[in-house]
Amino acid sequence: MPSLIPYLAFNNTKEALSYYEEVFGAENIHRLPVGQEQAANFGVDAAQADNMTMHAEFEVGGLKLYAADRFNDTGDFNRSISLSINFDQQNAEEVKRFDEIFSKIAEHPDTTVDMPLGKQFWGGMMGALTDKYGVHWMFNGN
């Protein structure tokens, strides 16, 4: 079955991965630094290659995301999208799990809570926040 995996770009993915691990509880983190032989292809100083990331994978709440450093000044597209984490509001374990994740992220000083997670007038649950990197996250219980 096909899948869609968000691919985020950062100025410093190595630092961002540490942030997502600490604040979001990210797991299964895998990071591939730029190798010395690839440095020229990516337009980076070979001395800095090990600190730069050509590809990374991590999971938040069991959902996979990809990331890499922003090469060739590609702009800040993270502020142009929203990532929606959908969960089953009829499943008490899922509600508890995603409420805990949302609360932990919301408590971080670099997080802006746009809408607290809670029951909404349409019957579902919804909450939204923006993280330190400008990524807008929506938590949606159906």
CB atoms within 10 A of CB 64: 12
Domains of the chain: 7-71 (3.10.180.10), 81-141 (3.10.180.10)
If DSSP codes are grouped into helix, strand and coil, which group holds residue 127? strand
pLDDT in tens, 62-96: 999 999 988 766 666 666 678 999 999 999 999 99
How large a percentage of the chain has pLDDT more than 70?
92
pLDDT in tens, 115-134: 999 998 888 899 999 999 98
Sheet arrangement for strand 63-69? 7-10, 63-69, 53-60, 27-33
C-alpha atoms less than 13 angstroms from C-alpha of 50 in its C-beta half-sphere: 1
The backbone region for 61, taken as left when phi is positive above 0, alpha when psi lies in -120 to 50, beta otherwise, is left
pLDDT in tens, 15-30: 999 999 999 999 999 9
